[in-house]
Chain A
């Protein structure tokens, strides 16, 4: 069955395929939350996919199901042509969390080397790759620093370098810039796009920022809370390469509105959702809410 699933995912060219995935959190015999319900999603190789939704919609849970950090209650998760657990053991993905999770006792360079050490790379290759990755995220000068000596944005770039150091097929990012200020976030967005274009890695990106999702993605997966479901997938046909000016085009605003309306239709923007960063045209949001009320 595994072999068949793997074949079909290869033939369809998808690097992540979820079918009928449910995740129910229980305490004892009681169902506490239905975090995910009936998730079907197929992600093609080289895609940049954003998962967006309000807090509690299960987007982070979904990312962890792909990463085999959380086991789904039901459904099938195929990652890089194999069951998610096998993909994790094969180190098929790199992960970036909201917190950079850097080790204070290691220098920046040694933090990037951490996965390579675990995977048994020899010393010379580790050093060469760590420097190459730090060059990619433009932190060459800081390789001897300690993580706590860097700014938040720089720390997150180290985390990205670390996640990409072993050339995983997939990069999973869980609200990586959620803790950063707006200016740094926009700069990091451009940075991630550049890295994505240079490396060709498939990226699955969890965010609650509509502008961020639209700017980065090839497709935006809109989720709704309680139970967490996919309500809409918005194709983002903005031309690439994208830059700051992309954020000022007509089409960009249309797509931002489309994602926002999808969120609203899914019930995301009706319940006083403070976490959801609607950004851009906030007037539209107010009008939309007024219309519902």
Chain B
């Protein structure tokens, strides 16, 4: 039985081959993206659209450069602060979500009490709580933004990780019973590894949610050197190019966090990506 006889398990090609495949795969997306920006620039110039409605990309770039440091809207320090709030919230929400998931998976009572509540709470647009959370944790305290982010993060993390811990192949549990394995061993050898792909799925959602929580929390007030405040105040001052510049930074932060989550997934559970590729 030779290795070549098994479908779908061909050896990965050479590094060069892999890179050229990757470039060929991503090239259309990159072209569409760059082309879109160029088109945007050209249409705005040709149609003479006012910057109040939609600024040109080059105008946004200028605003980015001008406000990077030291002006009334210092974009760099603000982006760092907003990112800090989002990451703080991500951490708090993830830890809390994972802990609750373990409790739910371990104790049937916890499951019966918490799961319906969690599902109900998850259906509420929790972002509506932002002004209240600002009041509870202090408008000027960065903790209020972290908590807003954490509140958005905790439920998807909890729901996904719970599913990963509970939805184990029944055969695997029978197998472990046949080894007279303890619950603790089953948790370590079966449930936790089984939950890892679910955890990373949650993280990919959670990174975006954390940033939404932080920015929307900032909309409702707080210290000024944050992207959310810059967006609100520059728009109020009709400086839309700066508004857009801040939005671009939020977008970059969101995409970066997502990419980090994807890379972490590939490093921690490389087999899951292979499995997906083979099934896909």
Interface residues, chain A, with chain B CB atoms under 8 Å away? 67, 69, 88-89, 91, 93-95, 97, 99, 101, 103-105, 114-115, 117-119, 138, 141-142, 145-146, 148-151, 154
Contact = CB atoms under 8 A, between A and B. Distances in A.
B135 to A, nearest CB: 45
Contacts of A89: 180
B172 A105 contact: no
Contacts of A104: 271-272, 275
A105 B193 contact: yes
A101 B180 contact: no
B271 A146 contact: yes
**What interface size band does chain B fall in?**
20 to 34
B171 A101 contact: yes
Dominant secondary structure of chain B at its interface with chain A: helix
Contact of A148 (B178, B181, B278): B278
Interface string B263-280: 000000101101100110
Given A105-B271, A148-B275, A69 B9 contact: no
Given A69-B174, A101-B169, A118 B179 contact: yes
B183 to A, nearest CB: 13
Interface of B: 1, 3, 6, 8-9, 169, 171-172, 174-181, 185, 189-190, 193-194, 196, 269, 271-272, 274-275, 278-279
A118 B190 CA distance: 12
Contacts, number: 69
A69 B171 CA distance: 11
A138 B169 CA distance: 27
A259 B131 CA distance: 77
A122 B271 CA distance: 25
B156 to A, nearest CB: 22
A97 B174 contact: yes
Contact of A67 (B6, B176, B178, B196): B178
B3 A141 contact: yes
A69 B180 CA distance: 10
Contacts of B181: 118
Contacts of A94: 178
A-B pairs, 7 with minimum CB distance = A101-B171, A149-B9, A105-B193, A95-B178, A89-B180, A118-B179, A101-B175
Nearest to A89: B180
A185 to B, nearest CB: 16
